[in-house]
Amino acid sequence: MPIFITQGRFTREYIKGGLARPEDRHAAISHLCEMVGGQLHSLHFTLGQYDFLLMSEMPDAKAAAMLSLVAAGGGGIEGSTTTQAFTTAEAKELFASAGKVAGSYKPMGA
């Protein structure tokens, strides 16, 4: 199954709720991933531009999008971004396949 990385920020309400009643969200997020046919690999609190990083394995991009919609719709996160990740073996295959096609492409005006 494809691997997806999701990063996002917590809403002010989410932070207030966490300060008042802290909880480990791993089990809840893992269950949500399973409900859309996927599996949670890891969930991390992060510093910087994003407040969290979630790595999951999903059946496809539609399942990953569903996960993002449900989480954002719940009001706890905002500004999330999800990208598909590839293993180094998958990247090698991508480069090999793209290399076979690359010679047939010419940029506009060339």
CATH number, domain 3-101, options 3.30.420.40, 3.30.70.920, 3.40.50.1240, 3.30.930.10: 3.30.70.920
Which of 45-54, 72-81, 90-99 is the least confident region? 72-81
Would you kindly state where each structural domain of the chain is located, as residue ranges?
3-101
pLDDT at 87: 94
Q: What is the end-to-end Cα distance of the chain in Å, rounded? A: 39
- Distance CA(78)–CA(48), nearest Å, equals 15
| E strand or H helix at 53 | strand 52-57
pLDDT band at 94 (very low <50, low <70, confident <90, very high): very high
pLDDT at 103: 85
pLDDT digits (tens, 9 = 90+) for 29-63: 999 999 999 999 999 999 999 999 999 999 999 99
